[in-house]
Amino acid sequence: MPFDFRRFDIYRKVPKDLTQPTYTGAIISICCCLFILFLFLSELTGFITTEVVNELYVDDPDKDSGGKIDVSLNISLPNLHCELVGLDIQDEMGRHEVGHIDNSMKIPLNNGAGCRFEGQFSINKVPGNFHVSTHSATAQPQNPDMTHVIHKLSFGDTLQVQNVHGAFNALGGADRLTSNPLASHDYILKIVPTVYEDKSGKQRYSYQYTVANKEYVAYSHTGRIIPAIWFRYDLSPITVKYTERRQPLYRFITTICAIIGGTFTVAGILDSCIFTASEAWKKIQLGKMH
């Protein structure tokens, strides 16, 4: 007797003449297909969408930076001449630089009465400060006006990612034009290292920061101290890492199979219960007629 390979078929077919279609079964089948389509489209949307997850850890993420952080500063002082405006940098490693001019630009405002300072510079990864002042001017003005608008202050690489909402430019738009012209401004920054890793594994290093500020007129035994705009910073030991992830294909296929199989199973049980109850009701009605 020849071997019949069809014995391994676990999906045995029932002849159509032994099956009975019903209106209830048709309604359940249509609802079942619509439900499967809805869940499939939902899962497909989740599969093709990139998810950004974040984690926290203690480490210096950018060890190849040489202990430096790039800073971008853009600030307008509408009532201070450009020849008076300067950038000074100092930190706990002994750096003390007055009148930093590398990679910086001064743009006259208000017919030369004001100035817009734009600078790119680096700071060490230790507590310190940088400040905009008249300290580097050859002759100090009598009453320097330090009212200002900060257009941008950012650290590290610029991240333009929609799924990441952080304080990468927390001072952007800060308006101090109505402040006391002779007052100094202290911005206390807490800088948080941030890493963004895309799907290809490429990493970008940026920094978020929180800020607190105060405004004051300072005096010493010799009289009023020349005002300045101070940015005092410290680094957090905590690093925030954002990672782009996409759902694996095998998980997507598993989910789709579970949706289809589960929906058909539940629909089949529901249809069987309705059909059984309907047949039992018919028998009860026939018994009452007899």
Please check whether residues 72 and 197 belong to one and the same domain: yes
Q: Tokens standing for 54?
A: 């974040």
pLDDT by residue, tens only, the chain of 290 residues: 566 767 766 667 677 766 777 788 888 888 888 988 998 898 888 888 777 788 888 888 887 888 899 999 999 999 999 999 999 999 999 999 999 888 999 999 999 999 999 999 999 999 999 999 999 988 888 889 999 999 999 999 888 776 677 789 999 999 999 999 999 999 999 999 999 988 888 888 999 999 999 999 988 767 778 899 999 999 999 999 988 888 788 888 888 889 888 888 888 888 888 878 877 887 777 776 65
Structure tokens at 80: 């201070």
pLDDT at 116: 97
The answer to whether residues 40 and 109 belong to one domain is: no
At 199 the three-state DSSP class reads coil
Residues comprising the chain, all counted: 290
Burial string for 131-144 (b: 16+ CB within 10 Å, else e) reads bbbbebbeeeeeeb
**Domain of 40, in residue numbers:** 33-50+247-274
* Number of folded domains that form the chain: 2
In this prediction, residue 288 carries a pLDDT of 65
In Å, how far are 73, 178, 193, 277 from 206, measured between CA atoms? 15, 32, 6, 66
Cα 79 to Cα 145: distance, rounded to the nearest angstrom: 6
Residues 190 and 269 in one domain: no
3-state SS class at 211: strand
What global pTM score does this model have?
0.73
**Does residue 39 share a domain with residue 75?**
no
Whether 119 is in a domain gets the answer yes
